[in-house]
Amino acid sequence: MPLSTYTQAAGDAVRNVGDVASGLATPRLRLGVTGLARSGKTVFITALVHNLIASGRLPFFDAGAEGRLIRVYLEPQPDEIVPRFEYERHLADLTAEPPTWPESTRQISQLRLTLEYASTRFWKRQLGRERLHIDIVDYPGEWLLDLPLLQRDYASWARDAVAQAREADREAAAKDWNTALGEIDPAEPADEALAAKLADLFKTYLREARSDQYALSTLPPGRFLMPGDLAGSPALTFAPLDAKGADSFPRGSLWSLMERRYEAYKTYVVRPFFRDHFARLDRQVVLIDVLAALNGGPAAVADLERAMTEILECFRTGANNLWSNLFAPRIDRIALAATKADHLHHESHDRLEAILSLLTDKALARARYRGADVNVLALAAIRATQEGEAKRGTQTLPCIVGYPLKGEKIGRRIFDGNEPFAIFPGDLPEDPKKALSGWQTEHGNMRFVRFRPPDPVQLPSGGVAPFPNIRLDRAIQTLIGDRLA
Ligand code: GDP
């Protein structure tokens, strides 16, 4: 064995001992934050960190409410090759004049938060303050939908993906893609330009199906919607082809090129993500824009349920062969949170939670789930609305009031971003089953517009006060409360 290998190994050993030693000194919790695009990850992490650092009012977060949090601050993160979550930049956007929403998650990132606190236990308190590192790992939920690909070969994936694009609820979004696919002979010689064109058309279809109009969720490969730093690389330049009845193709054909790239995608993109990042998480919060799916109609709700099933499957430990062979996740607690609850009057918050619970129960049953504890809640990490009432005839309707973003529409009205507006969003049904089976309010769809963030409030001591929120404290308690006892 060359000398350099020995020294390398010795170096690793020293580093491992160092890891253990620092682990002994300060325990750490790796907290994954995920959800599909625009589900609210960036806003959630920014609000969570801001509230902890600036001692926001969090009555249901025990350590905060009991005055046991002594100091919370950011420290350099442990993983040097993972980009840092840009907390300061996101907070600057939210506190700008006028405030704007921060740029959404596009790839994996990390942030280390250190909490100094007093334990509830007498003897521990005598030993002085305790410390806990929380390593927050933000990553696109789309990447989790790739797990099933690891067990599938190209032919079986392509068969399903081609059939799915022809389903009624996707047909409109997939029109150009389906036409192009119909004209392709997969046995023809591989051609880079053609492969790139097909990959582009396939991605356009996935993006279109994901848009507000269709609001579909389950659209792997995940990196096609959220490429991170891999945009344009050959591992992402493939697409499913229609085998048109054939069961083998010559070497050098378009089919074999696509097949090779699909396998490369699994080996170099999907597997390392699960092994290096996902399998190291201790806790996980999955953010879900349930309201967008309800607004998208029954196909979007059914698809969200499918996405939830696949996502929960990733957290299943034990019987899953993939896990025991490859990564063995260690997550012991998952919070599933319906975001943007400030789009509803508070009377509907419990209903939103009930809808998500039902959706999750069904998904858990389908995933034949075993593993971590699952908790469900509805929250708004940043509350952009206030509540009010409006009169319609003799009726009093519970409304929400906020500043719709520039360009948002209700009926024929287009907003300029500067006027407050009271909206009756519609009530969620009392029976959550109705919401999952193609229900609409008596006024048609629920009415959602995007609101601009609330105006920041300057603190006399400098800095900006944490924003109002809905049930963010419960989420924090669920995720880390027990570790601060
Ligand atoms: P990400 O893609 O998961 O990182 O999503 P973001 O955190 O960037 O959120 C996407 C958009 O959803 C934001 O730009 C906001 O318009 C909206 N949003 C997210 N969280 C909230 C919230 O708590 N309240 C409101 N009203 N809107 C939110």
Tell me the mean pLDDT in the region 193-208: 93
Whole-number Cα distances in Å, 409 to 339, 403, 406: 21, 12, 9
**Which is the closest atom of ligand 1 to the Cα of 46?**
7
pLDDT in tens, 3-49: 443 334 444 444 344 444 444 589 999 999 999 889 999 999 999 99
Structure tokens at 5: 């290998």
User: What pLDDT is attached to residue 15?
Assistant: 39
Residues 6+ positions from 454 with CB-CB distance below 8 Å: 99, 382, 383, 384, 467, 468
| Ligand 1 midpoint to CA 339 (Å) | 8
Provide the angle, in degrees to the nearest 10, between the axes of the packed helices 298-314 and 349-366: 60
User: What's the rounded Cα separation, in Å, for the pair 194 and 199?
Assistant: 8
Query: Tokens 């809808």 appear where?
Result: 355
Predicted confidence (pLDDT) per residue in 445-477, tens digit: 666 789 999 999 999 888 899 999 999 999 999
Whole-number Å distance, alpha carbon 447 to ligand 1 midpoint, is: 17
- Quote the ligand 1 centre to 378 CA distance (angstroms): 14
pLDDT at residue 338 above 90?
yes
Residues 38, 296: Cα–Cα separation, whole Å: 15
Higher pLDDT, 18 or 319: 319
Mutate to test the pocket of ligand 1, among 45, 94, 101 (most ligand atoms within 8 A of CB): 101
> What was the pLDDT predicted at 467?
97
Q: Which two tokens stand for residue 439?
A: 């229900």
Of residues 209 and 21, more confidently modeled: 209
How far is 427 from 410, CA to CA, in rounded Å?
Answer: 17
Terminus-to-terminus CA distance in the chain, angstroms? 49
Helix runs in 211-233, H state only = 222-225
DSSP helix/strand/coil, 202: helix
What angle is formed at CA 228 by the lines to CA 223 and CA 233, rounded to 5 degrees? Answer: 70
- Closest-CA residue, ligand 1 atom 19, reads 40
More confident residue, 211 or 471: 471
- The answer to whether the CB of 367 falls within 8 A of the CB of 407 is no
Of 197-201, 236-240, 267-271, 387-391, where does mean pLDDT reach its minimum?
387-391
List of domains in the chain: 3-139+277-382+469-484 (3.40.50.300), 153-269 (no CATH)
pLDDT for 326 equals: 64
Distance CA 146, CA 166 (A): 21
Residue 463 Ramachandran class (φ > 0 left, ψ -120 to 50 alpha, else beta) = left
Output the CA 62–ligand 1 centroid distance in Å.
Answer: 26
Pocket of ligand 1 (CB under 6 A): 35, 37-43, 101, 104-105, 339-340, 342, 380-382, 384, 450-451
pLDDT(371) > 80: no
Confidence of residue 212 (pLDDT cuts 50, 70, 90): low
**Does residue 131 or residue 225 have the better pLDDT?**
131
Instruction: With beta carbons less than 8 A apart as the criterion, state whether 146 and 223 touch.
Output: yes
Ligand 1 atom closest to residue 469's alpha carbon, by position in its atom list: 23
pLDDT at residue 184 in the model: 93
Q: What is the pLDDT of residue 424?
A: 84
Confidence tier at 286 by pLDDT (50, 70, 90): very high
CA pseudo-torsion sign 143, 148, 151, 157: negative
Band of the pLDDT at 192, cuts 50, 70, 90? very high
Given a cut of 80, is residue 443 above it in pLDDT?
no
Is 60 exceeded by the pLDDT of residue 224?
Answer: yes
E runs forming strands in 393-453: 395-402, 409-410, 413-414, 421-423
Centre of ligand 1 from the C-alpha of residue 375, in Å: 21
pLDDT at position 277, please? Answer: 92
Cβ-contact 421, 66 below 8 angstroms: no
Residue 343 Cα to ligand 1 middle (Å): 11
Ligand 1 test: best mutation among 33, 43, 109, most atoms within 8 Å of CB?
43
| Contact in structure between 46 and 102 (CB atoms under 8 Å) | yes
- Mean pLDDT on 124-131: 80
Per-residue pLDDT at 306: 84
Least confident of 14-18, 221-225, 372-376, 466-470: 14-18
Evaluate whether 386 touches 332 at the Cβ level (below 8 Å): no
- Predicted confidence band at 444 (pLDDT cuts at 50, 70, 90)? low
Using DSSP, state whether 29 is helix, strand or coil. Answer: strand
Cα–Cα distance for residue pair 27/447, rounded to 1 Å: 45
Which of 56-65, 121-130, 176-185, 302-311 has the weakest average pLDDT?
A: 121-130
Report the share of the chain in percent with pLDDT over 70: 89
**For all residues of the chain together, what is the average pLDDT?**
87
Please report which helix (H) or strand (E) contains residue 366, including its range.
helix 349-366
Q: What is the pTM of this model?
A: 0.88
Nearest CA to ligand 1 atom 18: 40
Per-residue pLDDT of 323-334, as tens digits, reads: 555 666 678 899
For residues 26 and 126, which has the higher predicted lDDT (pLDDT)?
A: 26
> Peptide bond before 221: cis, by omega within 30 degrees of 0?
yes
Choose among 269, 233, 304, 14: nearest CA to 147.
Answer: 269
- Placement of tokens 């279109």 in the chain: 208
Helix (H) or strand (E) holding 73: strand 69-75
- Cis amide leading into 98 (omega within 30): yes
Q: What is the number of the ligand 1 atom nearest to the C-alpha of 47? A: 23
- Whose C-alpha lies nearest to ligand 1, atom 13? 101
What's residue 296's pLDDT?
80
